[in-house]
Structure 1
Amino acid sequence: MLCSGKGTTVLTLYRAQCLGCCWKQGMTIRWRSSVTLFRAEGSESEDVKPFADIPGPKGPPYFGTYFQYKLGGININKMPETLKQWHKQYGGIVKETLLGHTIVHVFDPEAIRIIYANEDKWPRIEPMAQTTQMYREKSGMSPGLGNTNDEEWYRLRSAVQQLMMRPKGVAPLLPAVDPVALEFVAHLKHLRDHSNQVPDFATELGRWSLESSGKNCFDTRLGYLSGEGQREAVDMVEASHTVFDLTTQLGVSLPLHKYFSTPKWNQLTKAEDVLYKTLQKQLTAALERLREKMDSGKLGENEFLFLRYLMSREELSVNDVATLTLSLFTDGLPTTTPQLLFLLYLLASNPTVQDRAYHEVSSVAPHHPAPLTAQSVSNMTYIRACIKESVRMMSMVNEISRITKKDMALGGYHIPAGTPVHLNNPALYRHPDFFEQPDTFLPERWLRDWSGEKPNPFILLPFGHGPRMCAGETAVL
């Protein structure tokens, strides 16, 4: 069990010492009232078609689309194209069955709005990664935010939202990552080859992501860019890729790994071990440094902000702290890192946009590399527009998951309570019905003074919406 000895001692010691000086708690959230749109009470409404009539790809009973994934009819690595095709072929509401599990794909912005409008304060989702959930259960870990529902999810979410979902909570973390970014830029200059290219740039971005998040998680530089930790960083990047790829493959395979140690499951657990054991090592060392600082009375006000915040929350166990720290430390590898790669590619491919972005940064932070402030970042409106537009052009996600908690009507079909739904917004990101010049990288469309048609607010929602919106949105944007 992670840090079951020293970790518990430091946790108890710290909580005893931090009474009266911890972060203030008690953020109030007002939840939107839900609206019952449809309730099946013995018979279908005359103007709402039954669930069985929802169109979608067909297949044998139980197996559904399984053989299409296995025989090449559906390429799991090109799922965005498949989803767009389903939307074009079947419409805004599409039903898919895979190995006895039926989900509803939602492509209609109004239906997406309805789903969010009907959420209570505990929205339910399917596990973000069932394989990760299995691994954590077998390893005695806390499941984490993405693999829990109801009271357990709310307990964890309440503990982190004041820090991660408020600009004032995220702002103190900025000074730690700014120097890492400066070092990374200098690092890239030395990596360029004779043709001015950076070999394996994606891995370099992964190392930057880990070094940045590691500084905030553990309040130390891990040496992932140019120090002794370079090999460890590369191992973690490769492990993250393995977990992502095998999770995707196992998601469309017969679930033999749930009952037997299959080769792919063994490979996946080895990769998960790399991530978890690195977290164990770094967190144990960080807790020891924190204990020494506290014992000597030399703990600075801005030191160990993330760990101190988590440890001040009495509702969190040591295992909870470990899993939440693991998420902040590594979640950027399959998300932030490739999205940044896409953004840089789009900027390089659109020099006019790149020039405007450069001039905004130069005007907002003219004295950089002087410390970058939260206010400076807030003033970079065009940069934020570039980030949003890069997500629209090249999204890293295919859907946001929800499980309906009441009967409702979506797109003219009855959706029973307890139905898994996938909100496939990204399939609409380049649809001409929703965006002007849909294939053009045009950050201006997200600015307040944009004179064109304003995008539908329920289309570009990469972090979700409502009570279950991703806790990392504020940190990213």
Structure 2
Amino acid sequence: MRNRFLRPICTQAVPYTKSFDSIPRPFQLPLLGNWHLYKLGIYNPRKYHQVLLDLYKHYGPVVYEKVGLDKPIIHVFEPDDVQTVYRNEDKTPRIFPLSEFTKAYRQQERMSTGLGNTNDDEWYRLKNGIRHLMLKTNSVQRFLKDTETVTDDLVEVIKKYRDDQGRIGDLRQLLGRWSQEVAGQICFDKRLGYLCGPNESLGKRIVQANETVFRLGALLKFSLPIYNYIRTPKWMKLVENEHIVHKTALQYINESFTRIDKLLETNSIKDDQYTFLITLLQKDELSRKDVTVITTSLFIDGLSTTVPVLINNLYSLATNQQVQEKAYQEICRVCSDKDDLDAGTLNKLTYLKAIIKETFRMYPNGTEVARINKKPLILSNYEIPPESNLSMNMLVHFKSPKYFSDPETFKPERWLRGAENSPIHPFLLTPFGHGARTCAGRKFAEQDLLVSLYKIVKNFKLIYPSNGPRIDFVFDTLIFPDKDLPINFIPR
């Protein structure tokens, strides 16, 4: 029976609505939902992005899924429905965490769960504290020189350690250490020595630990939550590797706090020292615990977000020589003889930005944008009650001719202003989310991607061998390339 308390919100009149209980779903077992489909291998948890496509094809635009004892997920597959979700949000949208296990670990260690795992007034307070430092383009551009300096060193490391064919062994590892080095320079005003310095082995250990956490988190996502009661081997391994990452970050943060306090006591701090930390510490609404949480997130998150996206972009360029040449010509035209980057130069790299966006379409690194709706909604004519876990999975359309012309072709031009293609739905490709809960690190990630691609394309011609393996992906909480890619870096 339809819940008489539901008052659906919808911008368009519909001839009828269907009840929540009638939402299509895979076969469910009592209590366990469709956990058995993952346990028996009918759905492959390491290919969850493909499972989503299968759910959409078999069950339609809205699908109910329940894995184990967790609260059900309502998969939302249509961009018009996503638009409805966003347009019914208030100033404090709620989300369910990307990783329940990272949240559980932080709670176990009596740490704040972090900005990405917080909701309501607490989230709003933290967001206001970082608004002017992390969410404004001109504020993030203050750290452009830090990113450029570290990326120049990355270019030199690639030149030095290429093999005879121009390849780097374990590219993901190297780019992970680059990401950490950039984050360390921004967060702690310190070179960590991860790229080729004295702490290279520690950098490798952190990158590997982060990979392990995300891989185990994905496996636990599709298992019964026994770890809540018994310390299972997977859970213990996850905790062990979370310790490596978080304890190292906390050490750097506490050392920085100590140095800042001494500099302030002697009135000897310079204007350009510890810009990130001091800006946060000067916010009345942020405690040192808050600053620690925010800084830890920025320091760690690039390992699992920026790095795979950068690898995907390099693959896109190496396998599309005409696109790469056009990007190189843009760099030469815009930058001429200048060696140093500035914000004005980056803003002119419109084709390179289009390459990044097209790479997000061809090779997405996330499966969903999450929301917990506060209001009752109607999505594809189904009544959705408040407090539902909504998983908006737009990646099922990224290679669909319904939304993209010539969808299998890598074509950055489709994203350029004035392109001849038909308009692209504005809520179809939002890799950083949308609205008030857009990813807090978005501006840093975009700057890091643009600077790194600029420097690499300027210095190397990227070639992918004709017999090289085609890129494929695995789901490890986010989507990662499943193998090291044999990209040849040929100096220009």
Q: What TM-score results when the alignment is normalised by the length of structure 2? A: 0.87
Runs of 4 or more consecutive aligned structure 1 residues displaced over 4 Å after TM superposition: 42-46
Unpaired runs of at least 5, structure 2 = 9-13, 447-492
Verify: 1:459 aligned to 2:433, yes or no.
no
| TM-aligned CA deviation for residue 368 of structure 1 | 4.0
1:213 corresponds to which letter in structure 2? A
**Equivalent of 1:223 in 183, 193, 206:** 193
Distance in 1 separating the partners of 2:250 and 2:78: 44
Do 1:389 and 1:443's aligned partners in 2 also have CA atoms closer than 8 Å? yes
Do 1:398 and 1:427's aligned partners in 2 also have CA atoms closer than 8 Å? no
Verify: 1:321 aligned to 2:323, yes or no.
no
Query: Which whole-Å deviations, capped at 9, do the CAs of 1:2-60 have from their partners, x for residues lacking one?
Result: xxxxxxxxxxxxxxxxxxxxxxxxxxxxxxxxxxxx99537999710101111121121
| TM-aligned CA deviation for residue 317 of structure 1 | 2.0
| Aligned-partner SS, 2:66 | strand
**Equivalent of 1:432 in 382, 401, 406:** 401
Verify: 1:278 aligned to 2:242, yes or no.
no
Distance in 1 separating the partners of 2:387 and 2:203: 41
2:394 corresponds to which letter in structure 1? N
Alignment of 1:168-179 (within 5 A): 168-179=138-149
1:67 corresponds to which letter in structure 2? H
**Equivalent of 1:352 in 322, 325, 329:** 322
| Cα separation, partners in 2 of 1:242 and 1:368, compared to 1, 3 Å | farther
Q: Which residue of 2 aligns with 1:41?
A: 5
Distance in 1 separating the partners of 2:68 and 2:388: 15
Distance in 2 separating the partners of 1:445 and 1:299: 48
Q: Which residue of 2 aligns with 1:75?
A: 44
Distance in 2 separating the partners of 1:414 and 1:338: 37
Q: Which residue of 2 aligns with 1:152?
A: 122
Distance in 2 separating the partners of 1:76 and 1:431: 23
Do 1:463 and 1:470's aligned partners in 2 also have CA atoms closer than 8 Å? yes
| Aligned-partner SS, 2:391 | strand
| Aligned-partner SS, 1:383 | helix
Alignment of 1:386-405 (within 5 A): 386-405=355-374
Verify: 1:61 aligned to 2:30, yes or no.
yes
1:245 corresponds to which letter in structure 2? R
Query: Which whole-Å deviations, capped at 9, do the CAs of 1:307-344 have from their partners, x for residues lacking one?
Result: 01111112222221111111110101111001100000
Verify: 1:214 aligned to 2:179, yes or no.
no
Distance in 2 separating the partners of 1:128 and 1:368: 41
Verify: 1:267 aligned to 2:237, yes or no.
yes
Distance in 2 separating the partners of 1:154 and 1:198: 43
1:395 corresponds to which letter in structure 2? P
Distance in 2 separating the partners of 1:379 and 1:289: 39
Do 2:181 and 2:192's aligned partners in 1 also have CA atoms closer than 8 Å? yes
Q: Which residue of 1 aligns with 2:92?
A: 122
1:86 corresponds to which letter in structure 2? L
**Equivalent of 1:188 in 123, 144, 158:** 158
Do 1:127 and 1:147's aligned partners in 2 also have CA atoms closer than 8 Å? yes
| Cα separation, partners in 2 of 1:39 and 1:120, compared to 1, 3 Å | farther
Distance in 2 separating the partners of 1:213 and 1:39: 50
Q: What TM-score results when the alignment is normalised by the length of structure 1? A: 0.89
Do 1:206 and 1:337's aligned partners in 2 also have CA atoms closer than 8 Å? yes
Distance in 1 separating the partners of 2:6 and 2:141: 53
| Cα separation, partners in 2 of 1:43 and 1:208, compared to 1, 3 Å | closer
CA RMSD, 1 decimal: 1.7
Distance in 1 separating the partners of 2:266 and 2:351: 46
Unpaired runs of at least 5, structure 1 = 1-37
Q: Which residue of 2 aligns with 1:85?
A: 54
Which deviates more, 285-294 or 202-211? 285-294
2:358 corresponds to which letter in structure 1? E
| TM-aligned CA deviation for residue 364 of structure 1 | 2.0
| TM-aligned CA deviation for residue 197 of structure 1 | 1.1
**Equivalent of 2:375 in 399, 406, 424:** 406
**Equivalent of 2:111 in 141, 144, 147:** 141
| Cα separation, partners in 2 of 1:42 and 1:441, compared to 1, 3 Å | closer
Do 2:250 and 2:296's aligned partners in 1 also have CA atoms closer than 8 Å? no
| Cα separation, partners in 2 of 1:248 and 1:272, compared to 1, 3 Å | same
Q: Which residue of 1 aligns with 2:442?
A: 473
| Aligned-partner SS, 2:26 | coil
| Cα separation, partners in 2 of 1:152 and 1:346, compared to 1, 3 Å | same
Distance in 1 separating the partners of 2:336 and 2:300: 32
Verify: 1:420 aligned to 2:389, yes or no.
yes
| Cα separation, partners in 2 of 1:290 and 1:437, compared to 1, 3 Å | same
Do 1:96 and 1:103's aligned partners in 2 also have CA atoms closer than 8 Å? yes
Do 1:182 and 1:369's aligned partners in 2 also have CA atoms closer than 8 Å? no
| Aligned-partner SS, 1:271 | helix
Q: Which residue of 2 aligns with 1:30?
A: none
**Equivalent of 2:215 in 239, 245, 249:** 245
Q: Which residue of 1 aligns with 2:486?
A: none
Distance in 1 separating the partners of 2:313 and 2:216: 26
Q: How much identity, in percent, do the aligned residues show?
A: 38
Q: How many residues align?
A: 439
| TM-aligned CA deviation for residue 411 of structure 1 | 0.1
| TM-aligned CA deviation for residue 252 of structure 1 | 1.1
| TM-aligned CA deviation for residue 295 of structure 1 | 3.3
Q: Which residue of 2 aligns with 1:34?
A: none
| TM-aligned CA deviation for residue 305 of structure 1 | 1.1
Q: Which residue of 1 aligns with 2:302?
A: 332
Distance in 1 separating the partners of 2:326 and 2:30: 55
| TM-aligned CA deviation for residue 455 of structure 1 | 1.1
Distance in 2 separating the partners of 1:364 and 1:400: 35
2:164 corresponds to which letter in structure 1? H
